[in-house]
């Protein structure tokens, strides 16, 4: 059966589906020895020989790996970086398979980051049409009042567009009212979204940590450490779409 080249690359764990499209357009993928430079090509995995940077890409025997990392602050989520700041993949050692992050966390954000070589899962979980709730704990400057919180919940304008309804609740208040610890749940994944939403509420973020993606929780995994997802967690994520 034929399938799209970018889907095949994603399933083989080369990169996410979107990133695989970029790799094709960059001329790094060949089918039967011919470089492919356009999207839309279909291949027959049984017959066609696909290579990425000259190396054969095989699907069937690629073991799928699912990992949770407690990302510390001071690491970039991208796989390679021109300024050579530490990258999250530096923290995941001993894995033979080429894995990549599902979505991203800012350099200065810590918390739950999922990594996998399952390009299909990555594509689906990061697609804007999927509204998997993401839970954050933020330390913010000042203590928001009920009006601020309602505004945040209904949605605020960031980058010229209103955010979709979100949840926020105060967990702790500093006795001098200088800080508050809040739990925030959002369904979108816009750039620096939580920071921008808190800024719009006039209570900017001092520290930010993601603690859950849907029902997959960071729990007590120490900062900088990783673990394999359980069968139950993998099943849950796959059921989300
Ligand atoms: N929102 C942010 O502002 N930063 C993140 O890293 C994730 C969500």
pLDDT tens for 131-164 read 799 999 999 999 999 999 999 999 999 999 999 9
Q: Which of 106, 108, 120, 174 is catalytic?
A: 106
| The predicted structure's pLDDT at residue 84 | 78
Q: Looking at per-residue confidence, does 183 or 55 come out higher?
A: 183
What per-residue string of b and e applies to 130-144 under the rule 16 or more CB within 10 Å gives b?
eebebbbbbebbbbb
What the block records as the tokens of 216 is: 């997959």
Residue pair 109/73 in contact (Cβ under 8 Å)? The answer is: yes
Residue 60 has pLDDT above 70, yes or no: no
Has 106 been annotated as catalytic? yes
Contact residues of ligand 1, CB 6 A cut-off: 105-106, 109, 192-195, 208
Kindly report, residue by residue over 63-90, the tens digit of the pLDDT.
789 999 999 999 999 766 666 788 999 9
Cα–Cα nearest to 124, from 9, 214, 237? 237
């Amino acid at each position: 059966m034929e399938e799209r080249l970018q889907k095949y690359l994603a399933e083989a764990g080369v990169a996410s589906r979107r990133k695989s499209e970029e790799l094709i357009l960059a001329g790094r993928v060949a089918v039967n020895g011919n470089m492919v430079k356009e999207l839309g090509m279909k291949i027959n995995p049984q017959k066609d020989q696909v290579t990425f940077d000259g190396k054969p890409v095989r699907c069937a025997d690629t073991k799928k790996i699912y990992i949770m990392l407690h990302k510390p602050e001071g690491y970039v989520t991208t796989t390679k970086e021109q300024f050579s700041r530490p990258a999250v993949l530096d923290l995941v050692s001993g894995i033979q398979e080429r894995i990549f992050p599902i979505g991203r966390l800012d350099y200065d954000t810590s918390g739950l980051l999922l990594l996998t070589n399952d390009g299909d899962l990555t594509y689906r979980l990061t697609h804007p049409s999927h509204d998997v709730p993401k839970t954050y704990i933020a330390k913010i400057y000042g203590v928001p009042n009920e009006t601020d919180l309602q505004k945040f919940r209904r949605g605020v304008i960031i980058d010229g567009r209103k955010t979709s309804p979100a949840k926020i609740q105060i967990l702790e208040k500093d006795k001098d009212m200088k800080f508050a610890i809040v739990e925030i749940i959002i369904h979108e994944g816009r750039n620096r979204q939580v920071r921008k939403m808190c800024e719009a509420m006039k209570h900017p973020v001092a520290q930010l940590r993601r603690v859950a993606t849907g029902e997959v929780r960071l729990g007590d995994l120490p900062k900088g450490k990783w673990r394999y997802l359980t069968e139950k967690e993998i099943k849950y994520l796959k059921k989300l779409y």
